[in-house]
Structure 1
Amino acid sequence: MLDDATPPAKEKAKGAPRHGGHRDRLRERAAKGGLGALPDYELLELLLFRSVPYKDTKPLAKDLLARFGGLEGIGAASHEAVEDVVARSLGYQPGKATRAVALDLQLIFDVTRRIAREPTQKRTVISSWSALLAYVRVALQHEPREQFRVLYLDKKNQLILDEVQNRGTVDHAPVYPREVVRRALELSSSAIILVHNHPSGDPTPSRADIEMTRQVVQAGLHLNVEVHDHLVVGRHGVASFKQLGLM
């Protein structure tokens, strides 16, 4: 963790925090029972101990979870939004200390995303359906704006690249079918998986989603680029065009 999250001088001058006993007890309980036994707010408390050495981190942990709806929501939130909660909860003025705490949290969640992505990058995507679903949910489930991505695959269905093609508004991300296929040719990709999210939470494909997918499939047919599937990610699940019989 960063050591730059320096609290105001008057707090630092008080010496060791009075909540040290609580921290020791929580660490001991985590060590004995395992991290999996802790509720989300206590797990977040533990993560915040090093970032916030002179304050009780329980209120901040609970404020973050309440504001963003859960751990994944915190991970998907913007730096500015997280820093705002940190400042309000700790009673700090926005500045070096609050930026450092927000950055610590972003580092933790970005590492989590990369860990989730590794199985997809190392194994055949099509034969590892559960890993693929886990990855797209971590990447997009709590994105506040619509994002369109393409997973480019080689002849063995190994992932060549996961690329963000476009970011849009809360309900629209423009997609250009020819650009998607052109990029596949640049990467020597023979197959692709389309992925985008619905910030509304409902993964049900829209008419626009269906028409766009049809256009990409048609563009790919002429250049021998196969569209394996189109996944729509929402907070309530992932919809597969192939499973729904839409392609």
Structure 2
Amino acid sequence: MTRTPAFHEAPMPLFDSDEAELAPLPSGRLPSYIKDHRRRLRERFMRGGAEAMPDYELLELVLFRAIPRQDVKPLARRLLDRFGDFNRVLSASPARLREVKGVGESVVQELKIVEAAAHRLARARVIHRPVLSSWDALLDYCRTSMAHREIEQFRVLYLDRKNVLIADEEQARGTVDHVPVYPREVVKRALELNASALILVHNHPSGDPTPSEADIAVTAQIRQAAAIMGIVLHDHLVIGKSREVSFRSEGLL
């Protein structure tokens, strides 16, 4: 027997799963209040750019494409509450993103696409260009790529005789506070690429870029091994959440 619901009962939710977020409304139309809100945000973005918008509104703009038939403001707030800011949301691993209520595969894909686009744009400003004369662009690239990583990552920038960046490669990944680095592999790869100089880069997920004793020791080992082969180590950058440390500037090289 079918029971007729009482008038005071709450309506059934429009979506009952993450994947159902992409299902169209019964009417096939976007509710007017959501449509107007999205239009206003897009117009404000086009007038003033990202600087005119707080993190949660910029995140909403990204989520619009992933969830076209639902108010995404609550999800944007949950993501920022969980990860802290816009950059950390984009940099969060897919596994951690999926732990947030309302995040399905479409949301993860959209966030990772935006992250990849940001990395590629920053990389385009430094790859195949003289690095030492575009140092600020290099720092921007390193911050974009590594500042908000949840585990340590060690990268090597390989330069030719004119200090043009010819390759940027991840040498190793580690844990939240350690990454294994092998000087022999760094120098071996430099020889394969016919590189004349190196810049080492790694991040500190703790946020504090102060070099550890291990950082100092492995840098000395790589410098010594590279020098034997006539390869110059220009610098070692440690990337933190809000600042970076240069071994060269700190007198550690």
TM-score > 0.5 by shorter chain:
yes
Indicate which of 14, 29, 43 corresponds to 1:16: 29
Quick check: 192-201 or 57-66, which moved more? 57-66
Residue 181 of structure 1 is matched in structure 2 by: 187
Indicate which of 173, 178, 197 corresponds to 1:167: 173
Residue identity matched to 1:132: L
CA RMSD in angstroms, aligned pairs only: 1.7
**Helix, strand or coil: the match of 1:192?**
strand
Tell me the distance in 2 between the aligned counterparts of 1:34 and 1:195: 31
The answer to whether structure 1 residue 112 and structure 2 residue 127 are counterparts is no
1:189-200 matched pairs, under 5 angstroms: 189-200=195-206
Residue 74 of structure 1 is matched in structure 2 by: 89
Residue identity matched to 1:40: D
Residue 44 of structure 1 is matched in structure 2 by: 59
Residues 199 and 236, structure 2, Cα contact 8 Å, conserved in 1: yes
Residue identity matched to 1:241: F
Tell me the distance in 2 between the aligned counterparts of 1:34 and 1:215: 46
Over 3 Å counting, the alpha-carbon distance change for 1:15 and 1:192 in structure 2 is: same
Give, in angstroms, the shift of residue 198 of structure 1: 0.7
The answer to whether structure 1 residue 236 and structure 2 residue 242 are counterparts is yes
**Helix, strand or coil: the match of 1:12?**
coil
Deviations 1:91-130 (A, max 9, x none): xxx7xxx101210111011101110111111421111110
Instruction: State percent identity of aligned pairs.
Output: 52
Tell me the distance in 2 between the aligned counterparts of 1:180 and 1:99: 36
Tell me the distance in 2 between the aligned counterparts of 1:183 and 1:8: 46
Residues 75 and 110, structure 1, Cα contact 8 Å, conserved in 2: no
Residue 21 of structure 2 is matched in structure 1 by: 7
Structure 2's unaligned 5+ residue stretches are: 1-18
Tell me the distance in 1 between the aligned counterparts of 2:22 and 2:50: 31
Q: TM-score, normalised by structure 1?
A: 0.89
Give, in angstroms, the shift of residue 181 of structure 1: 0.7
Tell me the distance in 2 between the aligned counterparts of 1:8 and 1:174: 42
Residue identity matched to 1:12: L
Q: TM-score, normalised by structure 2?
A: 0.87
Over 3 Å counting, the alpha-carbon distance change for 1:8 and 1:211 in structure 2 is: closer
Matched residue pairs, number? Answer: 233
Residue identity matched to 1:169: T
Residue identity matched to 1:125: V
Give, in angstroms, the shift of residue 157 of structure 1: 0.5
Over 3 Å counting, the alpha-carbon distance change for 1:243 and 1:58 in structure 2 is: same
Give, in angstroms, the shift of residue 178 of structure 1: 1.2
1:31-180 matched pairs, under 5 angstroms: 31-85=46-100, 88=101, 90=102, 98-180=104-186
Residue identity matched to 1:17: L
Residues 148 and 241, structure 2, Cα contact 8 Å, conserved in 1: yes
Tell me the distance in 2 between the aligned counterparts of 1:8 and 1:191: 50
Residue identity matched to 1:53: P
Larger radius of gyration: 2
The answer to whether structure 1 residue 204 and structure 2 residue 217 are counterparts is no
